[in-house]
Amino acid sequence: MPPFLPIGLSNFPSLRLSNTVYVDKTKLICGLAAENQRLFLVRPRRFGKSLLLSTFESLFQDGLKYFAGLEAEKIWNDQTYQVVRIDFSPLKIYRSYSDFQTQLESRIRSAFARAGFDYRPESGILFFDALESWLLSLKNASLVLLVDEYDAPLTAHIDDSDVFSTIKQLLAQFYGIIKSADQAFRFVFITGITKFQGTSIFSEFNNLQDLTLQKDYGALLGYTDSEIKRFFPEYLEASMKTLGLTEHELMELMRKHYDGYCFEETCTQHVFTPWSVLSFFKTPSRGFKPYWYDSAGQPAVLLKFLTHHALSHPEYYDSPKIASYRSLAATQNYENIDETTLLVQTGYLTLKHFENDVFTLGYPNKEVATAMAQLYCDELLRNASESRLKLARLPKILANGTLEEIVALFNTAFEAVNYQDYPVTSEHACRAFLHVLLLGAAMVTTAEFSNAHGRSDLEVEAGDRHWIFELKFATGASAAQRQLDDALEQIRSRRYGAGHLSERRIMRAALVFDGRARRFTHCAELREESPRSL
């Protein structure tokens, strides 16, 4: 029987005692733990931050008790320590300032009590004063502090500046105390998904080392190609058998859907999403589903930000994206948080290339590209439940329907969009809207597909068909007719679809969106002798 998959397991000792796969990162972990350091790491959700902290906890607290057969067994020779581990992720809901303060103090008090901290409210001493006094009484380098999801209380309230400020002040007080008693700590490791200024982590911890973009730790979380082949051979074999694929074919599909994340500044290392890989291996018969997005790919910090910023506009979906090294490495102010940085930190964009102090960014894989389109689609059709139901028919109509039926369904979607918020005023906007709607309907869609002669606007697979759409934007019926003729000629002259490797039947069509009518008014398939008006 193969070892169990570590789905949902973030406790290192339990994992090691239960015949469960552990992807051995302990050589890197021991390298970090060997020195008296204060470390910080940002990674998206579901990448194993909690398991990483549990591994540190076990190493410092129990030594090599649970590390038999792992790299750590060969290199670790330190003593054991008292370990304080705090998870701030539950601190997201509260009724008042005093309620949050009570919850925060209770969580901190409970964590430090395991190391000997005994707070007595009746003493009249303020909680944080008592904690600071106790820490200062400890022997030097006698305590290890591990903080998981340090920013969870902040990101849960990113849409409310007053609440955000309140939480930030209390957290700053805690981290200020940790810094003032720095000599008590043998090792400190803090994780989160964002980097906010004003929490005292970065202002007070002047010796805090940020690992987020460092090359040596690009694969500290996430699975590499070689790790998947080394640690999951039985599951690779079972998946190959279930899907009728060779190992090469299976790995190529897994890379397409779940690989592509790059977290380091040279942009040379990439990793798979652990949650998606494990979920796929559990039931390969389901195919390549969007497991990360469905489970935790919609962090509140992004969803709330989406409703208040230009990020929600469809043209942004496939527009070129860049960011300076400084913007990604720096901490962010709440008031002017950069949406591109936020997308990188939450896992919707990743690093693709670095040159002249500038990163080129992109979607890491198909799972994330489709997830992002679904977010946009949900925003566009937020108040159009009836149109959503009609759009559920889109894959079937594209696979079996006529061009007129397809365009009528496209128009249903465009008519449901709030035109004041999302006006379609150009060919680029029209293509972006349609691309997002198709991806939001879980269609296999490509924008601006290139051949030797040019680039088609949109291509989409449905059933045994492969549709190639050339889009034009016009103002008025006469202009629309001319644009339709131009689009058909463009399909002919640039030979869209010629030599295409798809085994599906190639369907080539021109569509014209009339800006005045706010809908597609003309369409034609290339094979037909005369175009039709709608």
Length of the chain, in residues: 534
φ, ψ of residue 271 in degrees (nearest 5): -135, 160
Task: Kindly indicate the confidence band of residue 467, based on its pLDDT and cuts at 50, 70 and 90.
Answer: very high
Torsion of CA 306, 307, 310, 316, to 10 degrees: 50
Distance of CA 66 to the CA centre of its chain: 31
Judged by average pLDDT, the poorest of 89-103, 316-330, 370-384, 472-486 is 370-384
Q: Find how far residue 306's CA is from the centre of its chain.
A: 14
- Strand-pair partners of 12: none
pLDDT > 70 fraction of the chain, expressed in percent and rounded: 91
Query: Is 2.60.120 the CATH classification of the domain at 12-211?
Result: no
| 149 pLDDT more than 60 | yes
Per-residue tokens: 317: 């979906």
Lowest mean pLDDT among 41-45, 350-354, 393-397, 450-454: 450-454
Mean pLDDT of 62-68: 98
Fold for the domain defined by 384-533: Trna Endonuclease; Chain: A, domain 1 (3.40.1350)
Query: For residue 530, is pLDDT > 50?
Result: no
**Cα(458)–Cα(460) distance, integer angstroms:** 7
- State residue 417's pLDDT score: 85
Rounded average pLDDT over 105-117? 96
In the prediction, which pLDDT does 531 show? 47
Quick one: pLDDT at residue 528? 45
Other Cβ atoms within 10 Å of 241 Cβ, number: 10
- Per 3-state DSSP, the chain is made up of helix, strand and coil in percentages (nearest 5) of 45, 20, 35
Cβ atoms of residues 76 and 64 within 8 Å: yes
Pairwise CA distance, residues 117 & 142, whole Å = 13
Determine phi and psi for 191, rounding to 5 degrees. -125, 160
By percentage, how much of the chain surpasses pLDDT 90?
Answer: 60
Tell me the average pLDDT of the chain: 88
Identify the pLDDT of residue 95: 78
Angle (nearest 5°) at CA 256 between 254 and 259: 70
Give the orientation angle of helix 127-136 with respect to helix 161-180, to 10 degrees: 30
The β-bridge partners of 507 are 467
Domain residue spans of the chain: 12-211, 222-380, 384-533
Q: Is the pLDDT of residue 297 over 60?
A: no
H or E element at residue 258: helix 247-258
- Is 60 exceeded by the pLDDT of residue 299? no
- Mean pLDDT to the nearest integer, 295-323: 67
Tens digits of per-residue pLDDT, 6-62?
998 999 999 999 999 999 999 999 999 999 999 999 999 899 999 999 999 999 999
Looking at residue 309, its pLDDT comes to 55
Question: From the CB of residue 392, how many other CB atoms can be counted at a distance below 10 Å?
Answer: 11
pLDDT tens-digit readout, 488-523: 999 998 888 776 666 788 999 999 999 999 999 999
| Strand 465-474, strand 505-514: pairing | parallel
What pLDDT score does 529 carry?
41
**Residue-wise burial string across 177-213, b where 16 or more C-beta atoms lie within 10 A, e elsewhere:** bbbebbebbbbbbbbbbbbbbbbbbbebbeebebbbb
pLDDT in tens, 239-262: 999 999 999 999 999 999 999 999
- On the question of pLDDT at 310 being above 70, the answer is no
What pLDDT was estimated at residue 502?
65
CA gap 292, 442 in Å, rounded: 15
Residue 324, phi-psi category: left (phi > 0), alpha (psi -120 to 50), beta (remainder): beta
Higher pLDDT among residues 314 and 40, named by residue:
40
pLDDT top residue among 302 and 92: 92
Higher pLDDT, 297 or 78: 78
Residue 199 has pLDDT above 70, yes or no: no
> If you average pLDDT over residues 409-432, what whole number do you get?
88
pLDDT the model gives residue 180: 92
Cα–Cα dist 187/60, whole Å: 9
Between residues 185 and 386, which one has the greater pLDDT?
Answer: 185
User: Which candidate, 147, 144, 129, places its Cα nearest to that of 50?
Assistant: 147
Contact 274, 47 (CB under 8 A): yes
What is the structure's pLDDT at 119?
Answer: 94
Task: Say if CB 512 and CB 473 are below 8 A apart.
Answer: yes
Q: How far is CA 7 from each of CA 11, 17, 51, 227, 286, rounded to the nearest angstrom?
A: 11, 15, 11, 16, 17
Q: Report the phi/psi class of residue 206: left, alpha or beta, with left for phi > 0 and alpha for psi in -120 to 50.
A: alpha
